[in-house]
Amino acid sequence: MKNTIILFDLDGTLIDSTEAILESFRVAYDAFGETVPPRKAITALIGKPLHGIFSDLGISQDRIAKYVQAFREHYGRISQSKTVLLPGVRTAVERAAAFAHLGIVTTKNGHFSRQLMEHFKLMEFFDVLIGEEDVRHPKPHPEPIQKALQALPAVTGRRYMVGDTCMDMAAAQASGTVGMGVLCGYSSRAVLTQCTENLFENVPDAVTQIAKG
């Protein structure tokens, strides 16, 4: 009987879609004759909802919806071909599914997220996927984790949130979930150290620790 829940972030935790994301930002900016921001400016914001990223990059509120549409139209065409699983993720997910109920909690569009997991033949291991369109308040608010937990069986064991940003860790803490920070994504060790004591190089290492109980 499974008595543990493990929730995973997506970008920078299970997958590397940096190439697809950066290309789609370039296409969106090109569509409106604007110069795309530097790579570091964009990658520093990955993990936030797309609308919020464009806002933080200086796009006015009245134009954001058009930029988001341009981004998504292109991203939808290239996401599968320009996204890879991070090293060891497939084996780690399969191992975790043997002893825990699994879910994905992401600020990414849920439709694209599900397509990617199906493309990698991993969706079957997850009982729930919460995307940006499924909540009113994205991470770091606890709502996405709370909604995922509501969709999963009740357990008396521990509940974990594995992610690569302080937004993941803040949402975990606010929802009474154990945050597990991984260094394979978009946050540095120095940054993640400020928001969690549970640091791991990658998802396989985090799952190994969780399996020990």
Contacts of 33 (CB under 8 A, 6+ apart): none
Residue 1: is its pLDDT beyond 90? Answer: no
**Domain coordinates of the chain in residue numbers?**
5-16+83-211, 18-78
Q: Which of 9, 11, 16, 168 is catalytic?
A: 9
pLDDT averaged over every residue in the chain: 97
Residue range 131-140: average pLDDT? 96
b/e sequence 30-51, b meaning 16+ C-beta within 10 Å = eeeeeebbeeeebebbbbbbbb
How far apart CA 202 and CA 86 sit, in angstroms, is: 9
pLDDT at residue 213 greater than cutoff 90: no
CATH 3.40.50.1000 fits 5-16+83-211, yes or no: yes
pLDDT at site 40? 95
Q: Is the peptide bond before 138 cis (omega within 30 degrees of 0)?
A: no
pLDDT in the model for residue 59? 97
Provide the whole-model pTM.
0.96
Give mean pLDDT, residues 6-23: 98
Q: What is the pLDDT of residues 44-101, one digit of tens each?
A: 999 999 999 999 999 999 999 999 999 999 999 999 999 999 999 999 999 999 999 9
9 assigned to active site: yes
**Architecture field, domain 18-78:** Orthogonal Bundle (1.10)
